[in-house]
A and B are shown apart, each in its own frame.
Chain A
């Protein structure tokens, strides 16, 4: 499966970041497995340790399995002064996880991130591809409940 994704791109190192994005997006657990790293290393003819270097450098990649939905809460100054800490506390309670953890039902992984560029609506989080802004503790609960209902 990883091979097929690789083949969409020319086997040059500059495509590494795009290939890793696509592999991660295609995995139900949103991560890049050791298998995937080996496949990509072979395809691009670069050492596996180069790929691990890249993987662990960029915040959007994960080397361990994650939940079905990735919550990325912004902790940068504009969101911070608008109370992102309260939102984080609330999310930890609702999901029963610490930062970086995955909820027991495997539905959510809670992560912190740097500025998402939607500061006009701080505090902001992204769940997968969707942006949620002007967060309040009540609103967060609603959003999570809604996604839980959709499972």
Chain B
């Protein structure tokens, strides 16, 4: 293998592609060639680097210096000063990353541990980082019941929203006798403000495949579907490549590792419907129907895809599984809190210094996430509220900044944790306006199957529009609350049950704003 003095890791993701990363890399190669450094410095295209940065972000090893928002114009300075003379270019450095230890944000990572370090398009990189060891162990040394027991013991809870224990879900399906069972991966990430699954898939697609494989073995499924939204082009191409590579290596396919176990993983592309994040609606969509949710019970675990037992898990949930199997549940339980084990990936947006993603222990407070991982508020802005969990989320005021972010501490707000979206609002932004935008979203996304949601979302939008225009009264505000409460109790699926979250938290925490904008 060739030896390089330095490695430049360039993050390839939707953000950097939008910023023109491909042209940047070409220009960088040319400049390095001009400086005669091609044999000394390696450029590695990788996934998210795991810190918060804008535009094109790069990290240089072994120095571990990170730059953000670099442009083609900066290349000659970078090459001249840093790569030739060894003096990092201060003005482009990302303070929030560089001021911490070299292990910044890597110490507590499970799901993103390879992200931004390995080449996601090369299976050897993943194997070199310990990849597919868990799969081999699960297939050759463990019985399906052992796998389910281990995942159950680890306390892993579903990262899609509701936080249902994954091991328990698997244990419903595993013992069933059926000619065919399925694993379905919910990669139809549609919650506004959320793109953690995209980054997990872009940064380390093989890890997701390994998680799927282990789940399939545990429940006895021989077919798996990844249901992914059509917009995630880069994820789709990387997953397709990863599946192809795994098949070539005999990690996937028939009679894997001479065990007699067969598994095929297929990708199915969605067509843009928020409700398809609901597991039964997703199954309907997979079958080629409108994405209307189904009556439960029977749950998908018993009768799912084509009425066969089906486990539906979120991307992040499955991405945790290889670690649990490779290192054991005990090791996994060292992360997070006793009730909520493991880590959580968040995307943090809005008026913070460094929007982006981070992976932290379960139970980390919102304050820590904002201050330490997002570099605090953007200069000149004060914190007003955070919308946590996207449209189906809650609006938290500053007095709730120190609440631990885990399923048990958030209590009634717990369901918002899954999507991991944190949208920070500054003191100039209006809560009423935000709520209007959220309710417009629900009005559009209601699938129309059940009346409480179909009519309720229309009425909520009508009321909030009236209030926003200054034509509403406090009675209208209370009526919104009543309607949303009724929807919570009567709607068919989680979509209609969700608007109450934002409405209740907005009215409870920011009642003054509603009083100020309504007619007396």
Binding site for B on A (CB under 8 A): 12-18, 20-21, 44, 46, 50, 53-54, 57-61, 75-78, 80-81, 113-122, 126, 129-134
* Residue in A12, A46, A59, A115 whose Cβ sees the most chain B Cβ within 10 Å: A115
Residues of A within 8 A of B345 (CB): none
Known: A15-B288, A17-B271. A114 touches B190 (CB 8 A): yes
CA–CA, A118 and B233, complex, Å: 12
Find the B residue at minimum CB distance from A122: B349
Interface set, chain B 214-273, CB cutoff 8 A to A: 229-233, 268-273
Write the B1-36 contact mask toward A (1 if CB under 8 angstroms, else 0).
000000000000011011100000000000000000
CA–CA, A13 and B289, complex, Å: 8
CB distance from B315 to the nearest CB of A (A): 12
Are A117 and B271 touching (Cβ within 8 A)? no
Interface set, chain B 164-202, CB cutoff 8 A to A: 189-195, 198
Are B441 and A77 touching (Cβ within 8 A)? yes
Please tell me if B350 contacts chain A, counting CB pairs below 8 Å. Answer: yes
Are A14 and B232 touching (Cβ within 8 A)? no
Instruction: Please tell me which one of the listed residues A54, A60, A76, A122 contacts residue B290 in the complex, with CB atoms under 8 A apart.
Output: A54
Known: A17-B271, A114-B272. A53 touches B290 (CB 8 A): yes
Are A58 and B18 touching (Cβ within 8 A)? no
Instruction: Please tell me which one of the listed residues A13, A77, A118 contacts residue B288 in the complex, with CB atoms under 8 A apart.
Output: A13
Please tell me if B493 contacts chain A, counting CB pairs below 8 Å. Answer: no
24 pairs of residues in contact across A and B, judged by CB atoms under 8 Å = A13-B288, A16-B288, A17-B268, A18-B269, A20-B271, A58-B271, A61-B271, A75-B441, A77-B390, A78-B421, A80-B434, A81-B350, A81-B429, A114-B272, A114-B445, A115-B194, A117-B195, A117-B198, A117-B232, A119-B193, A119-B194, A120-B356, A121-B18, A132-B18
Are B355 and A14 touching (Cβ within 8 A)? no
Known: A16-B288, A77-B437. A117 touches B231 (CB 8 A): yes
Please tell me if B334 contacts chain A, counting CB pairs below 8 Å. Answer: no
CA–CA, A59 and B276, complex, Å: 12
CB distance from B476 to the nearest CB of A (A): 21
Residues of A within 8 A of B447 (CB): 57
Are B193 and A131 touching (Cβ within 8 A)? no
CA–CA, A21 and B429, complex, Å: 39
Residues of B within 8 A of A134 (CB): 18
Are A17 and B269 touching (Cβ within 8 A)? yes
Are A133 and B193 touching (Cβ within 8 A)? no
CB distance from A138 to the nearest CB of B (A): 16
Known: A60-B230, A129-B233. A118 touches B193 (CB 8 A): no
Find the A residue at minimum CB distance from B53: A120
Please tell me if B151 contacts chain A, counting CB pairs below 8 Å. Answer: no
Are B287 and A77 touching (Cβ within 8 A)? no
Since A14-B288, A77-B387, A114-B192 are in contact, a sample of 8 more A-B pairs with Cβ atoms closer than 8 Å, ordered by chain A residue number, is: A21-B269, A80-B434, A81-B429, A81-B437, A117-B190, A119-B193, A131-B14, A133-B18
Are A114 and B195 touching (Cβ within 8 A)? no
Residues of A within 8 A of B195 (CB): 117-120
CA–CA, A120 and B194, complex, Å: 9
Instruction: Please tell me which one of the listed residues A14, A54, A75, A76 contacts residue B193 in the complex, with CB atoms under 8 A apart.
Output: A76
CA–CA, A17 and B195, complex, Å: 23
Known: A77-B193, A132-B18, A133-B15. A59 touches B271 (CB 8 A): yes
Are A14 and B287 touching (Cβ within 8 A)? yes
CB distance from A7 to the nearest CB of B (A): 17
Are B18 and A118 touching (Cβ within 8 A)? yes
Residues of A within 8 A of B441 (CB): 75-77, 114
Are B272 and A117 touching (Cβ within 8 A)? no
Instruction: Please tell me which one of the listed residues A53, A81, A113, A132 contacts residue B272 in the complex, with CB atoms under 8 A apart.
Output: A113
Residues of B within 8 A of A121 (CB): 15, 18
Residues of B within 8 A of A20 (CB): 271
Closest A-B pairs by Cβ, 7 of them? A58-B271, A76-B192, A16-B288, A13-B288, A59-B272, A60-B272, A117-B195
Interface set, chain B 396-444, CB cutoff 8 A to A: 421, 423, 425, 429, 433-434, 437-438, 440-441, 444
CA–CA, A121 and B57, complex, Å: 14
Find the B residue at minimum CB distance from A78: B193
CA–CA, A12 and B306, complex, Å: 12
Known: A113-B272, A114-B444, A118-B15. A58 touches B194 (CB 8 A): no
Known: A117-B229, A118-B14. A77 touches B192 (CB 8 A): yes
CA–CA, A114 and B393, complex, Å: 16
Residues of A within 8 A of B271 (CB): 17, 20-21, 58-61
CB distance from A147 to the nearest CB of B (A): 15
Known: A13-B288, A117-B198, A119-B347. A59 touches B269 (CB 8 A): no
Please tell me if B41 contacts chain A, counting CB pairs below 8 Å. Answer: no
Please tell me if B50 contacts chain A, counting CB pairs below 8 Å. Answer: no
Residues of A within 8 A of B272 (CB): 58-60, 113-114
CA–CA, A46 and B287, complex, Å: 13
Residues of B within 8 A of A118 (CB): 14-15, 18, 195
Residues of B within 8 A of A57 (CB): 273, 290-291, 447
Interface set, chain B 438-482, CB cutoff 8 A to A: 438, 440-441, 444-445, 447
Are B285 and A115 touching (Cβ within 8 A)? no
Residues of B within 8 A of A12 (CB): 288
Interface set, chain B 312-328, CB cutoff 8 A to A: none
